[in-house]
């Protein structure tokens, strides 16, 4: 695999690990006149926690966020995120991708894919000016990352404009940053997918590679509706077209359980925390908000308007 292609791939590898929890929005200039953002307030006998659904990539049209959101963050002692992307060791992460995302047994991508998938990949590479031979050492999950990343790049979204980064850049001296996961763990989720899951993921990704903008636009509308039911419905519909259910369970539902358990520890302390995780982690019967409610904490949903 050529070095320049490898670097181009990595610039999106960690990005996918972030966006798998929630498909990125397509932030067009034609926004609905009234936009609303969901935030949850969780209280325990000793502390208060705010949960904000994140969009990990975006553009300047995301801002300014509602004053209620900014005020909740400013009054918090800790910002809790999935991963602090500002401190990720990129060299170490790339080494992991090379270790777990490349065939080391003399095998190649072509020997693991159907003729239809290979033809679809050829078409994709031609369209995007990518060297087809560079994909041969890569496992299907890595190729899927690259295909999705190309769609995000074409949509013009940027991790530096994501809501996570917005708050990471605003952390004051008296505040601290806490992580729920690590970059290594997030990569391991995809690297640990079965051969069948990886192949299905790539099949679905290639099939929908030219529908990225359309899909992102739908998710954008749902996110800014301030309606958790609408957001969940559309997100699930999009997932059904992008990944097998068994893999989505690992990427969302299973992680929710671990996240809720870790957040419960913060609620046992005596300080206010502000949590920013992928929006899909918070909603639904298996979402973090519901899991915290089931643990006995008071959970209130807040719908705040964007001006």
pLDDT in tens, 126-141: 998 899 999 999 999 9
232 against 166, higher pLDDT: 166
Token pair belonging to 261? 């358990």
Burial (CB count <10 Å: 0-12, 13-18, 19+), residue 303:
middle
Say whether 226 sits in a helix, a strand or coil.
Answer: coil
Residue with tokens 């936009």: 35
Would you state the pLDDT for residue 262?
98
Asked if the model's pLDDT at residue 193 lies above 70, the reply is: yes
Would you state the pLDDT for residue 212?
66
Asked if the model's pLDDT at residue 292 lies above 80, the reply is: yes
109 against 19, higher pLDDT: 109
The whole-number average pLDDT for the span 218-244 is 77
Asked if the model's pLDDT at residue 58 lies above 80, the reply is: no
Q: Per-residue pLDDT tens for 167-181?
A: 999 999 999 999 999
112: DSSP letter: G
Would you state the pLDDT for residue 27?
39
Say whether 298 sits in a helix, a strand or coil.
Answer: strand
Give percent of the chain above pLDDT 70. Answer: 86
244 against 153, higher pLDDT: 244
Token pair belonging to 257? 């359980």
The whole-number average pLDDT for the span 35-39 is 87
Q: Return the closest-CA partner of residue 138 out of 276, 246, 1, 28.
A: 1
Mean pLDDT of the chain: 83
Q: Are the CB atoms for 146 and 191 separated by under 8 Å? A: no
Asked if the model's pLDDT at residue 22 lies above 90, the reply is: no
The whole-number average pLDDT for the span 172-199 is 93
Q: Return the closest-CA partner of residue 243 out of 16, 8, 7, 4.
A: 16
What DSSP element (H or E) covers 8? helix 3-19
Q: Per-residue pLDDT tens for 234-278?
A: 777 767 777 888 998 998 899 999 999 999 999 999 999 999 998
Q: What is the pTM of this model?
A: 0.85
One-character DSSP codes across 230-289: HHHHHHHHHHHTTS-HHHHIIIIIHHHHHHHHHHHHHHTSSS-EEEEEEGGGTSSTTSHH
Q: Per-residue pLDDT tens for 88-97?
A: 888 888 888 8
213: confidence class by pLDDT, cuts 50, 70, 90 = low
The whole-number average pLDDT for the span 153-157 is 74
For residue 25, how many C-alpha atoms fall within 13 Å in the half-sphere facing its CB? Answer: 28
Asked if the model's pLDDT at residue 19 lies above 60, the reply is: no
Token pair belonging to 207? 């099939």
Distance from C-alpha of 73 to C-alpha of 52, rounded to nearest angstrom: 10
Q: Return the closest-CA partner of residue 10 out of 104, 89, 84, 66.
A: 89
Burial (CB count <10 Å: 0-12, 13-18, 19+), residue 63:
exposed
Q: Return the closest-CA partner of residue 56 out of 140, 149, 177.
A: 149
Would you state the pLDDT for residue 217?
67
């Amino acid at each position: 695999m050529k070095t320049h292609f490898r670097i181009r791939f990595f610039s999106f590898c960690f990005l996918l690990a972030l966006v798998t929890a929630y498909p990125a929005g397509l932030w067009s200039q034609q926004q609905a006149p009234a936009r609303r953002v969901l935030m949850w307030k969780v209280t325990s006998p000793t502390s208060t926690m705010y949960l904000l659904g994140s969009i990990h990539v975006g553009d300047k049209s995301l801002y300014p966020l509602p004053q209620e959101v900014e005020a909740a963050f400013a009054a918090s002692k800790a910002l809790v995120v999935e991963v602090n992307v500002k401190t990720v060791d990129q060299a170490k992460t790339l080494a992991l991708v090379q270790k777990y995302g490349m065939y080391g047994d003399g095998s190649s991508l072509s020997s693991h894919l159907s003729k239809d998938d290979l033809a679809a990949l050829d078409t994709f590479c031609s369209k995007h000016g990518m060297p087809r031979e560079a994909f041969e050492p890569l496992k299907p999950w890595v190729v899927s990352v690259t295909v999705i990343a190309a769609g995000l790049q074409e949509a013009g979204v940027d991790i530096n404009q994501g809501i996570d980064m917005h708050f990471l850049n605003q952390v004051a001296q008296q505040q601290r940053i806490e992580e729920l996961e690590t970059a290594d763990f997030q990569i391991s989720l995809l690297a640990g997918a079965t051969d069948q899951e990886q192949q299905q993921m790539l099949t679905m990704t290639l099939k929908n590679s030219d529908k990225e903008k359309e899909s992102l636009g739908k998710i954008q509308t749902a996110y800014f509706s301030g309606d958790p039911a609408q957001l969940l419905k559309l997100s699930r519909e999009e997932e059904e077209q992008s990944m097998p259910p068994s893999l989505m369970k690992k990427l969302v539902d299973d992680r929710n359980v671990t996240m809720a358990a870790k957040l419960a520890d913060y609620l046992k302390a005596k300080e206010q925390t502000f949590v920013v995780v992928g929006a899909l982690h918070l909603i639904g019967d298996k979402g973090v908000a519901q899991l915290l409610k089931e643990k006995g904490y008071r959970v209130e949903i807040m719908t705040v308007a964007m001006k």
